Amino acid sequence: MMNIIAQLNILKAMELKPNFSELAREYGMDRRTVKKYFEGYEGKPKTKNKTSKLDKYFDEIKAKLAIKGTTVKAVYEFFV
């Protein structure tokens, strides 16, 4: 994947329009994918910044777990 991106960056620096179909055959991908990478696509993000459903109960969970002898399963059963 890095080879195609490097080659596309070189072509972009030289201000040449690549033959997307030829590059796609060379690297075994779809020509639209090659064009997408030429236009600056960097791929999907590795992680999502998504909140947990349990965030609103964080303080209460923390207080329950602070009790000596309490297990995670017991706190789970309490909330269920």
pLDDT of 32-45, one tens digit each?
999 999 998 888 88
Residue ranges per structural domain of the chain: 4-39, 47-79
CA–CA gap between residue 67 and residue 62 (Å, rounded): 9
Sorted by sequence, the CB contacts under 8 Å of residue 21 that are 6+ apart come out as 31
Summarize pLDDT for 8-55 with one digit per residue, the tens: 999 999 999 999 999 999 999 999 999 999 998 888 888 888 888 888
* Per-residue model confidence (pLDDT) at position 1: 74
The model scores a pTM over 0.85:
no
Whose CA is closest to 27, among 8, 41, 40, 13?
8
Q: Determine the residue type at 58.
A: F
